[in-house]
Amino acid sequence: MEWLKKKSDMSKFIIHLGYPKTGTTYLQRKIFTQLIDNYVVITPEFENCGVNIRRLKYLIQSGRLPKKIKPAIAGKDVIISLEGLLFDPMRNVRNDFSLPLSWPNALQGLRLLCADRLEEEIELVIYLRRQDELLHSLYAESKTYHFNQSDRLNTIEKYIESVLSEDALPSDPGYYYDFNNTINEVRDIFPNNTLHVRFFEDLEHKPDEEIKFWSELCGHPLKRVEGRENSRQKGDGIKLADSSNQLRYILLKLKKRYCPGLKLPNKLSRIAKGILTKAATRKQESVLMTKEMRARLCAKYKNVNLQPPVNRMIPEHLRQDYFASGWVNKSM
């Protein structure tokens, strides 16, 4: 197909930023892996250029860059997808980490990663998801080993209250639920590059259109693959948190306090996580978002979404969900 042919000899440098809980794992496992013969691919679980993924992520989060990565990606088409660069600051429990995690620092690290590329070679993609559902899924994902560490955030009621009342600073729980903050910070660091804003709802309900978008962006035909990854939905208003594991909790807490930069090799890390998961002491916990909680979130974020630049990015078929007056009733 003609549109799959590259327009020039320029290489591609594609940065997929997340948000977390917007189909990122599906894209990484099912779609981006189709590019391994044509692209340098870097995701949390896979790389084909010989880098230590976890160390690379840590250095990018610190606004730095390992020298070894440059020769591995020089002149090649690259797609990097590390949603943890945004996810980690969103679930950071203050005063429990040796070093604060910073989204602006991570963006600076990404800027260094592609500093030798032409501006037109670099394109960024970020997926948004309606804030009530994003919050619910993110909280369930991180409750056991992150939010439970803080007495002020160890229930979804407390977390929602904190998100709604504390959102002015990047260290506040609610800061990144205002998509305007996130997008403006991306534009501050990448002012001359194309930013594609996509939506989880379209990936979920119009997957063929999203796969077509990625095919055109990458310049290679990609196939839709059935399946959902890391789904936590149990029923109406309920998502499942991870099983509690006291040993894993203690080890993670010690690591974050004393050696946050320590990264095990991928294979060893998966083995250790598997062993610890089998040692879980409790069943998965249900995290319920009531209609009242959802209504409070909807009341705030439909007004937030009316503000620029996000208000100009929401397509017509999603406007009712994101900022019309019928949003709350439809959500409940």
Kindly report, residue by residue over 210-255, the tens digit of the pLDDT. Answer: 999 999 999 999 999 987 665 555 556 787 776 666 566 566 666 6
Q: Which has more confidence, 259 or 189?
A: 189
How high is the pLDDT of residue 322? 93
User: Per-residue pLDDT averaged across 37-54, rounded?
Assistant: 94
Mean of per-residue pLDDT scores for the chain: 84
Q: What is the pLDDT confidence band of residue 100, given thresholds at 50, 70 and 90?
A: low
How high is the pLDDT of residue 311? 95
Q: How many CB atoms lie within 10 A of CB 48?
A: 14
Q: What is the pLDDT confidence band of residue 280, given thresholds at 50, 70 and 90?
A: low
CA distance 322 to 325: 9
How high is the pLDDT of residue 276? 59
How high is the pLDDT of residue 5? 42
The proportion of the chain whose per-residue pLDDT surpasses 90, expressed as a percent, equals: 62
What pLDDT, in 10s, does the model give residues 310-323? 999 999 999 999 98
What pLDDT, in 10s, does the model give residues 60-76? 999 988 788 989 999 99
Q: What is the largest CA-CA distance in the chain?
A: 57
* pLDDT value at 327 more than 50: no
Nearest to 90 by CA among 21, 184, 30: 21
Return all residues near 103 (Cβ < 8 A) that are at least 6 apart. 85, 86, 89, 170, 176, 182, 185
Q: What is the pLDDT confidence band of residue 331, given thresholds at 50, 70 and 90?
A: very low
* pLDDT value at 162 more than 60: yes
Are 163 and 138 in contact by the 8 Å Cβ rule? The answer is no
Per DSSP, 315 falls in state -
Nearest to 302 by CA among 165, 132, 99, 83: 132
End-to-end CA distance of the chain: 44
CA distance 171 to 281: 32
> Residue 14 belongs to what H/E stretch?
strand 13-16
CA angle in degrees (0–180, nearest 5) for 48-49-50: 100
Are 246 and 86 in contact by the 8 Å Cβ rule? The answer is no
Are 17 and 27 in contact by the 8 Å Cβ rule? The answer is no
Q: What is the pLDDT confidence band of residue 101, given thresholds at 50, 70 and 90?
A: confident
Q: Which has more confidence, 262 or 5?
A: 262
CA atoms within 13 A on the CB side of 111: 17
Domains, the chain, ordered by start = 10-242+284-331 (3.40.50.300)
Per DSSP, 29 falls in state I
Residue with tokens 């929602």: 160
Coil, strand, or helix at residue 159?
Answer: helix
Residues, the chain: 332
Q: What is the pLDDT confidence band of residue 115, given thresholds at 50, 70 and 90?
A: very high
Partners of 288 in the beta sheet?
Answer: 238
Coil, strand, or helix at residue 41?
Answer: strand
Are 72 and 51 in contact by the 8 Å Cβ rule? The answer is yes
CA distance 9 to 25: 30
Coil, strand, or helix at residue 34?
Answer: helix
Q: How many CB atoms lie within 10 A of CB 323?
A: 19
Phi, psi of 135 (to 5 degrees): -60, -45
Q: In what order do the strands lie in the sheet with 194-199?
A: 40-42, 78-81, 13-16, 122-128, 194-199
CA distance 168 to 318: 26
